Structure 1
């Protein structure tokens, strides 16, 4: 189920205005999850005038993380929207049957996300979908400290021994850009990756071609071609190594790549490949990003992931 669309016709100047109103400058910049407001922006999450949202990313008692406030509906979607994937979420969480009458298989339902089959339906093609109404990577609420850590949750579900394990030797997690998706509800693909992709990333790491720190993510020496799983040839990715998925990856991308190079968050693709060895998971992750501004860049994760 690969997911194109727009931001409800939202001009970029309106995007910037609303992003500032929410405090998109209050971004996570490291594993500790600390927030820092950008100079000159409006109120940030946690300020009473901004929005009545808690900022603890791990609410006690299994309670759901907060969802985007109403003022962000033009950018992040309205709960009244009729996107098919959002309606699948509503069925899993509220029992509301989609107008088509086709009920999805709710493989896992939590306060923060549901897991559904991808298309084609295989044992290595699943989707993690937030229970919040979030259209996609362009939603500025994803940059705040209160948002659920969907990447960590996807890994915990997809890993060997997880609740919905991806049955493939190597696992990949990915999200498409706004222009490359078909469905307008945020979804992280939980799928396979080719053994050649895993080998290539380890070779790049051994030769010093993988950024060891988020601040270096966009440096030229950490951009490298990786051969696609779909026979489409090499695509260029910015490659970072992380020891855990505890940071907010959307915020790391925004601070260290998007804002640094004057790019558009909506045009980015993001892929996570856990490092694997003969004995299993090696305890670190490769985080890949690309967009159409790079030579041979791409705005879709579909070149690296194996769905069939």
Structure 2
């Protein structure tokens, strides 16, 4: 799908003229196919003011109200409920008891809510889990994720993965991540909840001290905040941002401040969140990292930083 088309196949310049709230709503209602850049016009979680967000993150947990799913107009981009992606089969088993087709075995449903399910990652251990929406959502490229109607899956992942959470990641440092379309194995959206190395945590804190981590999303795409971070295969380059909460919509921030200004493809982005820890205690800050192969040494995958095994 061309990046030069938006809702209803409009050329970019025509689309920009319609990106007020009313125009975006009208385009969403009549859309047949969508590009990732189009969703920047949709309402998003929170305000556009600087962090911290003055809003309350969407409710989550067993008593939470079910979140709306992507509308039919977006199913060509976000997936159809009848799709047979293996991870989507697992979600349906956890949410409504539909058995997966043979030879796929039924998963362990570690937590099931109206908004999401938590499953084991591979390999199965106490620091490798997946959070998947209960809606059919293919991945990072689905524009619905950037709208205010979508659940705040990043905050849900953190609330589960943190020490004392419902499905805690048993590792000294925690990382959350989403792979790009070309790097992932399954096409149901899944946030990896895993460990990160102590050296990764230290590197991020050193970069913050050195002024190499953006303090506002508007700075996120500046080359000064494109920094090398050592992972499992040496240094890779990431755009580094720090936020004081996960109340804002990270998908929308990525599209608004990185993807659209640089004319990139949302589908080819990886997004990683590393909670800042000081002496083993959460320091009320989150490092948010994005990367893709358009930047020197960049990557489309979160797998170099997260520890699964």
1:17 aligns with 2:18: no
Deviations 1:22-66 (A, max 9, x none): xxxxxxxxxxxxxxx953248434999569xx9987379621111
1:227 aligns with 2:207: no
- TM-score normalised by L of structure 2: 0.85
Match of 2:58? 58
The structural deviation recorded for 1:17 is 3.0
DSSP-derived class of the 2:236 partner: strand
Q: 1:304 to 1:279 in 2, by over 3 A?
A: closer
Q: 1:206 to 1:68 in 2, by over 3 A?
A: same
* Cα distance in 1 between the residues matched to 2:175 and 2:9: 30
- TM-score normalised by L of structure 1: 0.85
Match of 2:73? 71
List 4+ stretches of structure 1 deviating above 6 A: 54-57
8 Å contact kept, 2:180–2:270: yes
Q: Which structure 2 residue ranges, 5 or more long, are not aligned?
A: 32-42, 46-56
* Cα distance in 2 between the residues matched to 1:47 and 1:175: 28
* Cα distance in 2 between the residues matched to 1:186 and 1:116: 12
Match of 1:251? 252
Match of 1:44? 24
Match of 1:301? 302
Q: How many residues align?
A: 279
* Cα distance in 1 between the residues matched to 2:280 and 2:94: 36
* Cα distance in 1 between the residues matched to 2:17 and 2:258: 19
RMSD over aligned CA atoms reads 2.5
- Choose from 151, 157, 163 the match for 2:166: 163
* Cα distance in 2 between the residues matched to 1:48 and 1:73: 12
Match of 2:238? 237
DSSP-derived class of the 2:260 partner: helix
8 Å contact kept, 1:269–1:289: yes
Match of 2:203? 200
Match of 1:31? none
Match of 1:96? 98
The structural deviation recorded for 1:15 is 6.4
DSSP-derived class of the 1:81 partner: coil
Q: Which structure 1 residue ranges, 5 or more long, are not aligned?
A: 1-10, 21-36
1:289 aligns with 2:279: no
* Cα distance in 2 between the residues matched to 1:227 and 1:110: 36
